[in-house]
Structure 1
Amino acid sequence: MAVYLENTGTEFLAKDGSLDQELLLQWFKESKRIEAVQGAYYSKLFDSGLEIVFRTVNQGDDIQIAGVDMHMSGRCVWNAKPLSTVGIGEPLLVSLLMTNADENCAFVADLIHAATIDKIDEDTSLSLQVCAFPRAMDVYDSRQAYEEAAAGTALLDEGKLLPFNYIMARDESLEQKQRDQYEAQEKLMLVCGPVLAVEKREHGEKDSSCLVATIRTEMGHLDLVFSAKQLIRDLKKGSYVVASCIISADVLSQ
């Protein structure tokens, strides 16, 4: 499951160490059904654009919820084509290593509503609405401030999408234990760039909200979804951000 409670400010969904099943069931009943290959999605959309996606499969005459994911709607659209699957798949959810038309960049993303498409392979061209959920974010005043703070270490190229863990998990010069550690987090992406815009989004549920910061990448604009609690210092338009994140991509068309 791809659920980001801290990023989205929906910690109220946590109950006794797991997700609040009563609240999830209520949202499921309020969701819109989307037909899929070998099952269906049920989508609950909040005022902020936050989407709760229930992945369901048929078991006889019954419907079983196979997983729950989160995605943030927005205006960041990338055109990409798949290269290979990443990790262990879940029902109606797939993670892919993808590239652009020129094949000069690569990124890993979870595909929301992937099973609405009959077939996905290397010849498939996908239009994706994308967002990212940072695990960690460092905020600087400028690119220069980032370079000074990171002096003596490898610097990220501005706007470059780097599937660092995915690459390191396949580095045969490393011991297997190290490769396994990278593989456990192989969907994490590294990216950095100046913040073009920041907005607070209200979900319309239990006074909850989150922040969305837009940056520019080599694939196009990318919305970072986070909460103020994840930051040591304030992030604003013009700030420079370095993030380790999971990219979520909603399939718009092929």
Structure 2
Amino acid sequence: MAKQTTGGAGIQQAGFDFLKALKKNNNREWFNAHKDDYLRALQEVETFADGLLADLSTHDVIETPSGKKSLFRIYRDTRFSSDKTPYKTYWAGGFKRATRQRRGGYYFQIEQGASFVGGGFWGPVADDLKKIRDDIAFDPAPLRKILSSKSFTSTFGTLEGEQLKKTPRGYDPEHEGADLLRYKQYLLIRRFTDEEVMSPQFRKEAGKTFAAMRPFLDYMSEILSTDSNGL
């Protein structure tokens, strides 16, 4: 197991200050003039992400090779968007679980007033969604046990994600798991205040949040990596 590193405990004030200024000046001229500020803030976020990766690696196998590689580009793709501002006003990164037997992933987003640590399944393909729903239709009790556990409710509150208004076609609308069958996404989200993000305890809390996802991710992984006979 990887040892927990000591660096990158939280996000520094400078990282928030840069995002705040960028939100007011979201244009290439301003960004280019403040490129050094961006690079300094980015380095701090990379250090934080390196720490998160080290923490994750103590209890899971992660394919993402480094904190730097986990981070998403700050440059927006505006080709098909009505919003033509060129830059994102948040830091974000994701970690991919390794091998086909470990499904789902981990994500963090740092944004003034809207920071969160999350994970799960953002856009399951049709085949994966059917496997999940078929398992719920067979017996929703294992998933309900996870979602009602003290660890889950105290960390995430409830399962989140887009839902259908009605039970999907092919499933009994009166089924005891009908509410779970309506999900199109399966997301675990814990939100943090700006003060919590800048606290020295933030990395520890983010790591605890990722660890609390494991029962859910492992349950889903078993469904998605085996056939209907459990093979």
- TM-score higher than 0.5 here? no
TM superposition score normalised by structure 2: 0.29
Larger Cα Rg: Structure 1 or Structure 2? 2
Q: Which has the higher strand share?
A: 1
Q: Which has the higher helix share?
A: 2
